[in-house]
């Protein structure tokens, strides 16, 4: 679903493609950082607010002709970037690597990029997963060992934020998702103040994400885990510009409320969007006006994340339409340099809304749920201090775990 273009480019002889594009665009070499020396210890992270961690656009530090981020920061005001992706080794194992081939333990290239961003007054978040490759949740045996692998990344780079990009094919693997969500929870507990985001696929249906996306939310609920943000990716699924994207975000907002029993304000405060600039993998087009419309929606509704794939692509192709093809190194639409990064900079610099204050839950007035009782559509029960309403006939199906029950919110 997500980022097929960059993965396809990489697997179809990326080295030659990058060399050609580097010459055509006049970009820095694929080992560009931002001119920083490599330090033996993590450079102290800048004191950025949560809005900036939610506004970090994706960058591939090893592939797809990574740009020199110093000039990007100067030209746009962007202070944060999301480096992608942490995967399991291509040959198997439970140790973190960049893209499956660059061990984190011996890395100096991504480290140089991170140090340079921080020297310029910014900071980074690192993304785990993405489309393609083998995820640590698939190879590590349980949540604790998965978390231990990710902790190596947090510790090496002194991270204050991390993203879990959980999508095809991994999110179809219940065990892998259990390990990833469990690892995210452990990291959040063991690293005070760590900003944890989860990114998953978006759909044009009324719920904003598909069946596997909803199962991911259910897994987080069952583990009692609440990240800073859940973001959907409204592209590569028949989206037609910003109106379809905003519709998906509204649907996802309803899904968050019904899944977790959140108020509207709380759901918006935990919701985000991850866009794709220019031409998507499936031939959709998202131009500057679409980014502005979604930005207006995000800021007016108090969303906590607004990002896109990717800064590597935030350049005009030659020719501008790239002959109707999607590229990992340019946008395939007419644009100025770093046009799309300027939108995340506006989101990051915006004054975030105050945290929502939910009204106190009311009394639990519905009868307690009974496994032996028969319930029909519209009947309400109390279970684990929540009120649940049956959607249709049911017996013996546990509220909060079966789709037949709609969570009407907490009660006391």
CATH number of the domain to which 132 belongs: 3.20.20.80
124-138 pLDDT, tens per residue?
A: 999 999 988 999 999
Query: Are residues 399 and 254 both part of a single domain?
Result: no
Per the annotation, the verdict on 167 as an active-site residue is: yes
Query: Are residues 28 and 92 both part of a single domain?
Result: yes
Domain boundary among 349, 377, 395: 349
Residue 357 — very low, low, confident or very high, per pLDDT cuts 50/70/90? low
Residue for token pair 């519905």: 366
Query: Are residues 245 and 268 both part of a single domain?
Result: yes
Residue 85, beta-bridge partner list: none
Count of Cβ atoms closer than 10 Å to residue 87 Cβ: 23
Query: Are residues 264 and 387 both part of a single domain?
Result: no
Q: Which of 41, 167, 172, 219 is catalytic?
A: 167
Give residue 9's pLDDT.
Answer: 39
Query: Are residues 316 and 407 both part of a single domain?
Result: no
Query: Are residues 335 and 404 both part of a single domain?
Result: no
Tell me if 354 is assigned to some domain.
no
Residues in CB range of 199: below 8 A, 6 or more apart: 2, 127, 129, 163, 164, 165, 166, 167, 231, 232, 233, 272, 274
How many residues are present in the chain? 412
Query: Are residues 322 and 233 both part of a single domain?
Result: yes
* Containing structural domain, residue 366: 360-412
Query: Are residues 215 and 339 both part of a single domain?
Result: yes
CATH number of the domain to which 387 belongs: 2.10.10.20
Tell me if 355 is assigned to some domain.
no
Token pair belonging to 10: 């990489």
Query: Are residues 211 and 275 both part of a single domain?
Result: yes
Give residue 386's pLDDT.
Answer: 87
Provide, rounded to the nearest whole percent, the portion of the chain with pLDDT above 70: 86
Checking if the pLDDT of 306 tops 80, the result is yes
Residues in CB range of 85: below 8 A, 6 or more apart: 60, 98, 99, 127, 128, 129, 130, 133, 165
Query: Are residues 365 and 302 both part of a single domain?
Result: no
Domain boundary among 349, 375, 393: 349
Residue 20 — very low, low, confident or very high, per pLDDT cuts 50/70/90? very low
Tell me if 191 is assigned to some domain.
yes
Give residue 356's pLDDT.
Answer: 66
User: Which has the closest alpha carbon to 34: 66, 5, 8, 10?
Assistant: 66
Query: Are residues 303 and 389 both part of a single domain?
Result: no
Mean pLDDT of the chain: 88
Query: Are residues 332 and 366 both part of a single domain?
Result: no
Cβ burial, residue 67 (10 Å; 0-12/13-18/19+): buried
Distance between CA atoms of residues 136 and 138, nearest Å: 5
Mean local confidence (pLDDT), 169-187: 95
Domain count across the chain: 2
Checking if the pLDDT of 15 tops 50, the result is no
């Amino acid at each position: 679903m997500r980022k097929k273009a960059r993965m396809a480019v990489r697997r179809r002889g990326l080295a030659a493609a990058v060399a050609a594009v580097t010459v055509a665009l006049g970009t820095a070499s694929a080992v560009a950082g931002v001119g920083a020396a490599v330090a033996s210890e993590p450079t102290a992270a800048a004191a950025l607010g949560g809005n900036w961690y939610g506004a970090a656009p994706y960058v591939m530090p090893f592939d797809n002709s990574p740009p020199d981020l110093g000039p990007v920061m100067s030209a746009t005001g962007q202070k944060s970037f999301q480096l992608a992706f942490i995967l399991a080794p291509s040959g198997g194992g439970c140790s973190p690597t960049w893209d499956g081939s660059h061990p984190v333990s011996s890395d100096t290239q991504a480290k140089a990029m991170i140090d340079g961003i921080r020297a310029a007054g910014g900071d980074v978040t690192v993304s785990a997963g993405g489309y393609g490759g083998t995820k640590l949740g698939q190879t590590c045996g349980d949540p604790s060992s998965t978390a231990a692998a990710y902790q190596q990344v947090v510790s090496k780079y002194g991270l204050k934020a991390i993203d879990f990009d959980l999508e095809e094919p991994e999110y179809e693997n219940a065990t892998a998702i259990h390990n990833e969500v469990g690892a995210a929870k452990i990291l959040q507990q063991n690293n005070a103040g760590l900003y944890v985001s989860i990114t998953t696929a978006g759909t044009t249906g009324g719920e904003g994400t598909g069946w596997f996306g909803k199962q991911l939310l259910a897994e987080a609920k069952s583990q009692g885990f609440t990240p800073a943000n859940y973001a959907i990716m409204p592209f590569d699924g028949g989206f037609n510009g910003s109106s379809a994207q905003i519709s998906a975000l509204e649907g996802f907002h309803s899904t968050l409320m019904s899944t977790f029993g959140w108020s509207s304000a709380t759901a918006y405060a935990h919701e985000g969007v991850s866009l794709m600039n220019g031409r998507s993998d499936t031939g959709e087009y998202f131009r500057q006006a679409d980014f502005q419309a979604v930005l207006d929606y995000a800021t007016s509704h108090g969303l906590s994340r607004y990002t896109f794939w990717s800064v590597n692509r935030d350049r005009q192709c030659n020719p501008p339409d790239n002959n109707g093809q999607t590229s990992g190194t340019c946008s395939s639409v007419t644009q100025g340099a770093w046009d799309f990064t300027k939108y995340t900079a506006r989101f990051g610099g915006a004054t975030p809304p105050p945290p929502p204050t939910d009204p106190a839950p009311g009394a639990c007035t519905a009868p307690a749920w009974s496994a032996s009782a028969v319930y029909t559509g519209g009947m309400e029960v109390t279970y684990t201090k929540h009120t649940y309403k049956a959607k249709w006939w049911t017996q013996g199906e546990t509220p909060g775990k079966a789709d037949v029950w709609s969570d009407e919110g907490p009660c006391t």
